[in-house]
A and B are shown apart, each in its own frame.
Chain A
Amino acid sequence: MAVTYRLRVDPIACDGHGLCAELLPERITLDDWGFPIVDGAEVDERLLAHARRAVELCPRLALRLERVA
């Protein structure tokens, strides 16, 4: 079975910079106060590189890409 991933945000670490939503609008939107709402759906091959970039560029290191079993 192919390895799949999903995104998760640490809401305590997150400060609402909002970079992630710009880099990955397919999975991340912002709430009325600028904090990310992360879609828990699988991150497929197509989005993986973008997702990795969003994770690396989060100034608070609050975004994680987790392997799904």
Chain B
Amino acid sequence: MSAAAAAELERQDSPGADGETGLPRLLAGLGEDGWPVPLSRHRHLYPAPPRLGRRHDDLLVAVERSGLTGRGGAGFPTGRKMRAVSAGRRRPVVVVNGSEGEPTSRKDTLLLRAAPHLVLDGAVLAAAAIGTREVVVAVDRKATKALQSMEWAVGQRRSAEPGPSVRVVALPHRYVAGEESALVHWINGGPAKPTLTPPRPFESGVDARPTLVDNVETLAHLAQVVRWGPDWFREVGTAAEPGTMLVTMSGAIDRPGVYEVPLGGRLSEVVRAAGGSPSRMEAVLIGGYFGSWLDGAKARRARLSNEHLRPLGSGLGCGAIVVLPQEACGLHETARILDWLAGETAGQCGSCVHGLAAIAGATAAVSRGAGSDATVESLHRWATQIEGRGACRFPDGAVRLLRSALNVFGDDVERHLRGEACATGPSVLPIPTTKGQPWR
């Protein structure tokens, strides 16, 4: 068989290769009706990862060449992070971050539940690449089906093939528990609260060893990069942000759920695919409650890449997208989100504890028509004061959301200040009840 023919055969096996778009990739590997794909079926497409213990530099080079970036929110190049972790003197640890604390995101839980072996392959391959045999899979303890599926998948491997020691742990159901220093702190026996950095986990994490903390979706992509190669991975997406990403669509659309899109693709396209109407969009929340609002006009032109969104003061974050329903008041919804965020502070840094409470209170006051110009002035002052002053980036996220709301809903703010607050409008965005959940 010629090399070209072999390559063709290879391509036929790769997910989504029959379509013109080459999509879906990750979503092609889900079990039916949300059931996990068993190991035997998974191994038809994905060979068992190589032996662990020594460093497999070829794997690391493949990830670097793919240009894969983290899909948890920060968008950092995965290969560069792996390189940094493997440069440490002590044997590293791999942590799969399956916390998905973002209330409007479902994609990681979906992968954990329906494609656990793809995620585990990614984690084991990352471990092989950086030369370790220790993997910790951290899943939110309220995501019971994802937890069960992951434990089942780890059990299947234990009896079927030699592999690393994989530990599945059930994380506290708190938003900041997924922040990487908080995650490591909790695995080490502390509360799931962020710690002062540096050192960052890549230098000193689990048991003070260099620790690779990667998001669930990132590792699923990593498994596909190793299987079909960096060039295949780069066939979709942009040069700076290659590949596909999972987005969780909700709000004013007919078919909410998880969709797979090429990075750099149009937001309006996925809105349409999810049964929404781009022409009627008034505001879109990108990146979930830790993200920012875009007005309708910008949203209609927006492309789904950080390169495109950052100049607009926005970013992909974890890929959660909420189309604001027409009957909703963006200001009121933002006040509800900020109130929830204020309650999710770890309570460690003064500027976060007091700043977020003040911001939530003042936004609520403006929203119900009890604010004045001075209230709005205070909001801007507090935003400037608390930005960059927490041990982690949590307060910065709340500030970004606030600023985008004051900007996108500027007319609403004016109206509410003039005493024309929305008549007790509907509360449409889902606000979880995480308050009072334990930190251990």
Chain A residues within 8 Å of B, Cβ to Cβ? 10-16, 31-35, 37
Contacts and interface: CB of A to CB of B under 8 A. Distances in A.
Contact of B389 (A11, A13, A15, A34): A11
B397 interface: no
B350 interface: yes
Interface stretch (B215-223, B302-310, B378-386): B378-386
A66 B121 CA distance: 42
A15 B350 CA distance: 7
B354 A33 contact: yes
A58 B97 CA distance: 37
B45 interface: no
Contact of A33 (B195, B351, B390): B351
17 contacts: A10-B196, A10-B391, A11-B348, A11-B350, A11-B351, A11-B352, A12-B195, A12-B196, A12-B349, A12-B391, A15-B350, A16-B350, A31-B385, A32-B358, A33-B350, A35-B351, A37-B389
Interface residues of B, number: 17
Given A31-B355, A32-B358, A37-B389, A14 B350 contact: yes
B387 to A, nearest CB: 10
Contact of A37 (B195, B196, B385, B390): B385
Contacts of B390: 11
Given A11-B348, A11-B350, A12-B196, 7 more contacts: A10-B196, A11-B391, A14-B349, A31-B385, A32-B385, A34-B350, A35-B389
Contacts of A10: 196, 391
Interface of B: 195-196, 348-352, 354-355, 358, 381-382, 385-386, 389-391
Given A31-B355, A35-B354, A12 B348 contact: yes
Nearest to B348: A12
A8 to B, nearest CB: 10
B34 to A, nearest CB: 40
Contacts, number: 44
Nearest to A31: B385
A15 B354 CA distance: 12
A15 B389 CA distance: 14
Given A31-B385, A31-B386, A37-B385, A11 B355 contact: no
B195 to A, nearest CB: 7
Contacts of A34: 350
Name the residue among B196, B349, B350, B354 with the largest chain A CB count within 10 angstroms: B350
A51 B355 CA distance: 26
A11 B388 CA distance: 11
A33 B358 CA distance: 10
A12 B386 CA distance: 14
A32 B361 CA distance: 15
Contacts of B382: 32
Nearest to B381: A32
B386 to A, nearest CB: 7
Give me the 10 closest cross-chain CB pairs, A-B, nearest first.
A35-B350, A33-B354, A11-B349, A31-B385, A12-B348, A16-B350, A12-B391, A11-B391, A35-B351, A10-B196
Nearest to A14: B350
Contacts of B386: 31
A64 B390 CA distance: 16
Contacts of A32: 354, 358, 381-382, 385
Contacts of A33: 350-351, 354-355, 358
Contacts of B358: 32-33
B176 to A, nearest CB: 13
A37 B389 CA distance: 8
Contacts of B351: 11, 31, 33, 35
A15 to B, nearest CB: 7
A4 to B, nearest CB: 19
